[in-house]
Amino acid sequence: MKSLQKNWRVLAAAILAAALFTGCKGADAVKEEPLNTYTAESGMFSVSLPGEWTEGDTMGLTDLMNLSRDDGMEAVIMGMTKGQLLGQGGSNVESLEDFFNYADALFLNGAAATTELDNTESIALAGMTATIAKDGTMTQKNGASGRLFIECGETERAYYLLMFSGTKGYDKKIASIKTNLGFEELEIPEPETLADTLRWFNASYAVITSLNGGDLNIPAGYEPGSMIETSMKTMLERDWGVTDQASLEETVERLVTKGHNSEALDYLAQSGTEGMTREDLITAMETNGFDDEEQTIMLAAFDAKNAYGDHAIAGWDLSRAMSLLGWGYLAGFYTYEEAMDKSLVTAQMIQQEFTSWDDFMNSYFYGYSYWSGNAPEDTDSQAYKRRRLYEEIKEEDNSPFSADWNTSLQKVW
């Protein structure tokens, strides 16, 4: 029962991977060029750079800039408020060094390519209380290689990442950029507060949204856009066999009416566990040669049935149904209103079957262990890490789990 979920943090990395190493379009010489200023869509920061840069698609990420220049230089510049990091999968970021490691995993190693980087002198940037800079090479999975400069900086309220890459004539070009680069932190936007119903929807699949690097304060985790639509369609077809609205609706219906919950209950019935204690079941499994993974799967179903009866691991199925409805909207299979209408029906069903966020999420975690074979007590397992992430998200100031479980869910769109 291996994972079907794609880590959507590589969506951001795809911007860099698509832009890197496109080849130099200009000569080696770097002519003197006037500075131009570019501002993030959110208004969070601006940068001044020599020459004319073209702004590319950022897949709806308003605090990220994707820039390219006719001479082959590329740039990705990103800002993240310190309070935003947990919802973006950066729950362990407590220092600038932590942020650099987080950004490295998000954009570079293990995502788009691999890098070989050495410490280098930082650019002095206005407002930064600390900076880390690296220079080196980056190699894509197809073997294409180029030069790379990265600087991470910290202000009182946010962390920033600035990356520049190129190939031919790189040394002269990056020297000009380093000499002339200007940065200004502007008005950091307050996170938008969603209506309680929409926050409730987001909470129902907040763990996978956070794991995938999405924003817990945006319906479905991302702003819609052409690159998001393409990426979502690719993921849905590859991991779910969903290619259109009809196949999406069929998949959601299967999760809502049967899913792994029906399978787990049948498994227990066929295994003759009725009337057994947990200790009896463990003894029986050991006697019959069940390996560790088989025991984890059986115990997950058994414990869930004892805790939630016929809704045993329905939390797992229903959470995924909710996420699929959001992804279907981003993929263009549903309009926003259609996706939210269908989410409302499923969310009301969840409210009827469980009594609290902890109950619902416990069922989800039982289901994840049943599906994956991951033992929740294994601190290296994804089952353990998902539960820990849930507890961390609950502690966020703007956590979607702060939405009352008994919220009167209603149409607010």
167 with 147: CB under 8 angstroms? yes
User: What pLDDT does residue 225 have?
Assistant: 80
**Buried b or exposed e, range 260-270, using 16+ CB within 10 angstroms:** bbbebbebbee
Q: What is the pLDDT along the chain (413 residues), one digit of tens a residue?
A: 222 233 334 444 555 554 444 444 444 444 557 899 999 988 999 999 999 999 988 766 788 899 999 999 999 999 988 866 544 455 567 899 988 988 887 777 655 567 889 999 999 999 999 999 999 998 877 777 889 999 999 999 899 999 999 998 999 999 999 999 999 999 876 656 789 999 999 999 999 998 887 888 889 988 888 778 988 999 999 999 999 999 999 999 999 999 999 999 999 999 999 999 999 999 999 999 999 999 999 999 999 999 999 999 999 999 999 999 999 999 999 999 999 999 999 999 999 999 999 999 999 999 999 999 999 999 999 999 999 999 999 988 789 999 999 999 999 99
Q: Is 160 exposed, middle or buried (0-12, 13-18, 19+ CB in 10 A)?
A: buried
153 with 159: CB under 8 angstroms? yes
- How many whole angstroms separate alpha carbon 2 and alpha carbon 50? 48
- DSSP class per residue in 93-121: --SHHHHHHHHHHHHTBTTTEEEEEEE-P
User: What pLDDT does residue 4 have?
Assistant: 26
Count of residues for the chain?
Answer: 413
Rg (CA), the chain: 24
User: What pLDDT does residue 356 have?
Assistant: 98
- How many whole angstroms separate alpha carbon 92 and alpha carbon 100? 12
pTM for the structure as a whole: 0.70
User: What pLDDT does residue 1 have?
Assistant: 29
Within 13 Å of residue 101, how many CA atoms lie on the same side as its CB?
9
User: What pLDDT does residue 27 have?
Assistant: 42
